[in-house]
Structure 1
Amino acid sequence: IKLKIYNKNTGSSVNSTFCIENGTVKYAGDTLLDGIQRKYSPIELDFGNAIGLATGKVFPTGSKIDTICGIDTTCIDAAMPIIIIRSIDLGLTGLESKQEIDDNIDLKSKLLKIRLQAGILMGFDNVKDMAIPKICIFTHPSDGGTVAARYIDPIFCHPQFGITAGLALATAAKIPGTNINEYLKPDNNIEKFIIEHPSGTLPLTLNIKIDNDAIFLNKAANITTAKKIFNGILYAE
């Protein structure tokens, strides 16, 4: 069954497709996600054309590459506003563990400065106390994925990778002229995009159409699972 979910934060809709059994959600299944201990029933979340939801532009700075604090960055708003940085430009391999990144004081200081300046360029003014934009550090994959990346939220490395940040990273990778596209040179005919992260992989499905400067996401989806976390009763008047 399909359910359209309204995202109040962005004013957009997410199409959720999940399994029903005997009139209720089916939780048991064979889908196992990295970082989750058990298998559950799959749920597809399609964020659709999630371009410019927070800023109104796919590239809110007006450029595909901006040099901030001496580092080339790509600032993109697709499902979520993120700042993309090549790991090599930060003196990293891109395969560091969460702990290695969290313990790197000099790195965190540099990322904070980049984030504050990028936030102004992206139209957010002071982002010191804001949850966005996030930072994504990437390199070539090491285990069969499309890219190896680390998700910084906002200065600590996440043990996994956020879905919306992953979709933004995948979108940037498909657009010529971005730092990640120039570095990875991915096959734009392949819709599957797999991000290697500290806990495993995040598989995404991305169908993007580029017509000159117009960018449209026909599909931007991820598979999650139906894990019951609580029971409750909702009363409505």
Structure 2
Amino acid sequence: MRQLKIPAAFVRGGTSNGIAFLRENLPPDREDWKEIFLAAIGSPDPNRRQLNGMGGGISSLSKVMIVEKSKTEGVDIDYTFCQVSPKDDWVAYTNICGNMASAVGPFAVDEGLVKPEGDEVCLRVRSTNTGVQFDTKFAIDDGKAAVDGNFKLPGVSGTGSPVRNEFLDPGGANTAALLPSGNIIDQLELLNGKKVDASLVDATLAVAYVIAEDIGITGKELPAQVDDDPHLMEQLEHLRCQAGVLMGLGDSLNYIRDNSAVVPKICFVTPPQNSPSLSGEILKADDCDFTARMISSGNCHRALPSTGSACIAVAARIEGSTVNRVARNTDDPSSDVRVMHPSGILSVTADVEKTNSGWYCNRVGVYRTQRRLFDGFVYVPASKVPSLIAAQKKLSEAAK
């Protein structure tokens, strides 16, 4: 059969790449999107290479974002994020993806959904996946989103024009609360039955945080070392599934494993220590507040998810949490949280306070860069997208 083409762009948002669609160029029924996204990205692929599509073989390079003008009062843009499994036959709409979120505003401006005035714009964006809203602020160059600049994002070569995303009231993005279990510390069980402390935090993203030494590792392992250790990956998945149950995302370990591969994520942290980076540079302990590695859809992230970095900064400000325990002490809770990850060190601002009703996050801000890499059409084999063919036929008949 022939191929079908759909208008799209391929963009980098932060340390992720993905396909960007205007909502109007997709079928009205979201149930029809799965087969399109799988075919376009090149999944499922048991080899995890996605050579038959636009994916890059790991979770951070296997993403789709959908953008449209918002009908919500006070909101400029609605943003839907889709995580596509590099290996299996599933897609998920459960989280925000803060990295791709940094490309949403620029994409909207460049596509003409928003007409900016002046040399800078601030847009309010709503995540349709979670309901969380965020302000995205970036420079404008000759009517389009600026690309050139001096901001260096760890994990991305070169420099670019910064995009600041500030997530508003981000607690409970995937669950019911900032601390979904109601506790600062919960206990999870290792495969050998030993109990370890964990903090289950949901600020833009639901994440379970454990201390690396408690699970028998140093915390400065590079992603390939983590991915290539089957026992460690099994251990982390076992902990993640327990956390998912405690966070209310499912009623059994099997349910979380089979139906919630994207959230919660699992992250291990350690106190500041000299650590190797993917570039070969040795990162210095004095330059960070703690070290972190996060697992995303079966891979150790090569940097940190943007929403993951937002959540970990919030966790660091919650007194007594596992992240707070390992973080460098500070006398200024308004100072940036500096997180060491496999690609470098990033800074996050987190406005967190303890209220009469418990811990609360007002906002959390991250900086990223973005760039449109190319645009035109993405092609999908017609044999892979019967629902798209049916939708196009229905529209064609309605137009007659």
Normalised to the residue count of structure 1, the TM-score between the two structures is 0.92
State the alpha-carbon separation in 1 of the partners of residues 296 and 222 from structure 2.
15
Question: Partner of 2:170: helix, strand, or coil?
Answer: coil
DSSP-derived class of the 2:324 partner: helix
RMSD: 1.7
Q: How far apart are 1:185 and its partner, in Å?
A: 5.4
Residue 366 of structure 2 aligns to which amino acid in structure 1? Answer: N
> Shift in Å at residue 12 of structure 1?
1.6
* 1:95-133 residue CA offsets vs partner (Å, 9 max, x unmatched): 111111112222111111111121111111122132100
For residue 215 of structure 1, what is the aligned residue in structure 2? 359
Letter of the 2:269 counterpart = F
Asked if 1:34 corresponds to 2:154, the answer is yes
Report if aligned partners of 2:164, 2:368 keep a CA contact under 8 Å in 1: yes
Q: Which residue number corresponds to residue 225 of structure 1?
A: 369
Larger Cα-atom Rg: 2
Structure 1 distance, partners of 2:138, 2:263, is 29
Give the C-alpha shift of residue 219 in structure 1.
2.8
Contact 2:313 2:349 in 1 (8 A): no
2:64 alignment partner in structure 1: none
Residues 1:24 and 1:104: Cα distance change in structure 2 (over 3 Å)? same
Unaligned 5+ segments in structure 1 are none
Q: What is the alpha-carbon distance in structure 2 between the residues aligned to residue 230 and residue 186 of structure 1?
A: 44
Question: Match for 1:136: what amino acid?
Answer: C
Partner SS, residue 92 of structure 1 = coil
In the superposition, the TM-score normalised over structure 2's length comes to 0.56
Q: CA deviation at 1:232?
A: 5.6
> What is the aligned-residue identity percentage?
29
Number of equivalences: 233
CA contact (8 A) 2:178 2:360 kept: no
2:205 counterpart (77, 80, 83): 80
| Correspondence list, 1:45-56, <5 A | 45-56=165-176
Indicate the residue corresponding to 2:344 in structure 1: 200
1:137 to 253, 268, 279: 268
CA-CA distance at 1:54 after TM superposition: 1.4
Work out whether residues 310 and 348 of structure 2, in 8 Å CA contact, stay in contact via their aligned partners in 1.
yes
CA shift for structure 1 position 24: 2.0
Residue type of the alignment partner of 2:265: K
Q: Deviations over 1:146-184 (max 9, x none)?
A: 111001114421111011111111111111121222333
Higher helix share: 2
Q: In the alignment, which residue of structure 2 is the partner of 1:113?
A: 238
Q: Gaps (5+ residues) in structure 2?
A: 1-120, 190-194, 274-283, 378-400
Deviation, 1:50, is 0.3
Residue 313 of structure 2 is matched in structure 1 by 170
Q: Distance in 1 between matches of 2:297 and 2:218?
A: 20
